[in-house]
Amino acid sequence: MFEAVDELVVEHADLEKKLADPSVHADQANARKLNKRYAELTPIVATYRSWKQAGDDMETARELAADDPDFAAEVKELDKQREELTERLRLLLVPRDPSDDKDVILEIKAGAGGDESALFAGDLLRMYLRYAERLGWKTEIIDATESELGGYKDVQVAVKTKGGQSPEPGQGVWARLKYEGGVHRVQRVPATESQGRIHTSAAGVLVTPEAEEVDVEINANDLRIDVYRSSGPGGQSVNTTDSAVRITHLPTGVVASCQNEKSQLQNKEQALRILRSRLLAAAQEEAEREAADARRSQVRTVDRSEKIRTYNFPENRISDHRVGFKSYNLDQVLDGDLDAVIQACVDADSAAKLAAA
């Protein structure tokens, strides 16, 4: 089952050597990339080494137990320890979501239920702000439309790790909050209800990874470079030599040209700069479109029937309908104690990925 781990151990050792080289850190972008991969592999390698050590210790204990029965209990304990390490390693080897360590934009929208839904949206906002505070994340309300009774018709908040620090694997903002997208249903007596009747309303939560600047790499084999004679007014070399340059990026059809500089080499460099910026803009637009598609898939309509979670105030109960989670500490959850609820979703997701592997 763990044949591929030996390759990860070799990769981890290679990364350790590279990161110890001061020259690597001259390129900050590359150093961050290497550090990120090293952080991903470290818990896998550490657990694998513990797993192997437990196996060696168990074999030794078995040999000793053959002559001395007192070692039988140690064999049993080591066997249990190795089983636990085996399961932990299995979970660590589950394919990771590449967006797990990204920051997010979280939007809460009032839905069915009128003013009560807007008040509930305010409760959800407070819950997420408290949860972020518990984990040391930074929050910033980007835009908000308040309701007359003090809740929110719509509110957007950016949630980020402080100082851009790299989170532990599985502990990034997106890694935890991606399970929050969907319709959240509340059952309680609204503040606007005079006869004490329990009402049901809903609010939608939309979670998307925050767009980052996309690095653009250009393969020389993907370029067609044409040179031609510059046109228009100019000084020496203009209109007399083939110094103008047109570069076509064949995979995308994006074209950039330059004829302002005196030499063909200078025009080529400038055209490449223009091409990179255009490819970057196109990549960012595509990333934003994908994020918008993910956003729309989370909540088609903010309707009670599409609920992912129910917050029942009379019973102090919270239920996640996707994974069958239920607990009776709703007051604590709304105060930001969301870990158990989210972890149930994480565990179910990991189990599904393991089953599909």
Q: Are residues 226 and 135 in the same domain?
A: no
- Single out the residue in 289, 317, 334 at which a domain terminates: 289
Boundary of a domain, candidates 289, 314, 337: 289
17 and 164 inside one domain: no
- Same domain? For 322 and 188 the reply is yes
User: Encoding tokens for residue 301?
Assistant: 């309509």
From residue 20, alpha-carbon distances to 12, 16, 35 in Å are: 12, 6, 11
Question: For 256-311, what is each residue's pLDDT tens digit?
Answer: 888 877 788 888 888 888 888 788 778 777 777 776 666 666 655 545 456 899 99
Q: In this model, does residue 133 exceed pLDDT 70? A: yes
My answer on whether 204 and 154 are in the same domain is yes
Are 182 and 314 members of one domain?
yes
Residue 98 lies in a domain: no
209 with 116, same domain?
A: yes
- Do the domain assignments include residue 295? no
The whole-number pLDDT of residue 180 equals 94
* Residue whose entry in the numeric block shows the structure tokens 């990026």: 249
Question: What is the predicted pLDDT for the residue at 299?
Answer: 58
Same domain membership, residue 341 and residue 307: yes
- Do 207 and 226 fall within a single domain? no
Are 74 and 55 contacting, i.e. CB atoms less than 8 angstroms apart?
no
Do 148 and 224 sit in the same domain of this protein?
Answer: no
Amino acid occupying residue 294: A
Q: Assign 330 a pLDDT band (cuts: 50, 70, 90).
A: very high
Q: Is residue 294 part of a domain?
A: no
Asked if pLDDT for residue 95 goes beyond 90, the answer is no
Instruction: List the domain range (segments joined by +) for residue 195.
Output: 104-213+300-356
Helix (H), strand (E), coil (C) string for the chain: CCCCHHHHHHHHHHHHHHHCCHHHHHCHHHHHHHHHHHHHHHHHHHHHHHHHHHHHHHHHHHHHHHHCHHHHHHHHHHHHHHHHHHHHHHHHCCCCCCCCCCCEEEEEEECCCCHHHHHHHHHHHHHHHHHHHHHCEEEEEEEEEECCCCCEEEEEEEEEEHHHCCCCCCCCHHHHHHHHCEEEEEEECCCCCCCCCCEEEEEEEEEEECCCCCCCCCCHHHEEEEEECCCCCCCCCCCCCCCEEEEEECCCCEEEEECCCCCHHHHHHHHHHHHHHHHHHHHHHHHHHHHHHHHHHHCCCCCHHHEEEEEECCCCEEEECCCCEEECCHHHHHCCCCHHHHHHHHHHHHHHHHHHC
Q: With respect to residue 97, please indicate whether it lies within any of the assigned structural domains.
A: no
Q: How confident is the model at residue 233 (pLDDT cuts 50, 70, 90)?
A: very low
Q: What is the CATH number of the domain that holds 349?
A: 3.30.70.1660
Residues 195 and 231 in one domain: no
Residue 248, domain member (yes or no): yes
Is residue 132 a part of any domain in this protein? Answer: yes
Residue 196 lies in a domain: yes
Q: Which of 235, 266, 289 is the last residue before a domain boundary?
A: 289
Local confidence band at 188 (pLDDT 50, 70, 90 cut-offs): very high
Same domain, 83 and 204: no
Instruction: Indicate which CATH number applies to the domain containing 261.
Output: 3.30.160.20
pLDDT per residue as tens digits for the range 71-90: 788 888 888 988 889 888 88
With respect to residue 174, please indicate whether it lies within any of the assigned structural domains.
yes
Say if residue 307 is in the same domain as residue 200: yes
